[in-house]
Amino acid sequence: MMGWLRRRLPAPMAAPETAALRAARRRLVAALMLLAMLTLFWSPAAGLLGGGAFALFLALVVFTAFQGAFWISAKNAADDAWLLSGEWRDE
C-alpha cells in the first residue's frame, strides 16, 4: 500500500509546521470551539450576558474570519516556499 501511495504522491503534502503557524492554528480552533459553544448554549449565554452575548458572538465571528484568513494565507505561503525549495527531497 505504501509503495502505491508513494508513486502517486512523490512529495509530502505540507511543510513542517512552525511555532507561529501552530499558534495561529490553535487560536483558530479555540475560537471556533468557543463560537460553537456559544451557539449551542445561546439561551443560557444570552440570559447571563444579556446584550453582551450578541457582541461576543460578533467579536468571535470577526476574529475567526481574520484569524482564518491569516492562517490559511500563511500556511499556503509556507507550503509553496517549502515545496519550491526542494527541501522535502532530503527527508
Which residue is listed with cell 481574520?
Answer: 66
Q: Is 64:32 a contact under the CB 8 Å cutoff?
A: yes
Placement of cell 453582551 in the chain: 52
Per residue in 6-36, pLDDT (tens digit) is: 676 666 567 788 899 999 999 999 999 999 9
Rg (CA), the chain: 19
**Which comes out higher in pLDDT, residue 49 or 15?**
49
| Number of neighbours of residue 28 by Cβ within 10 angstroms | 19
Question: Which letter does DSSP use for residue 86 in this model?
Answer: T
Tell me the whole-structure pTM to 2 decimals: 0.76
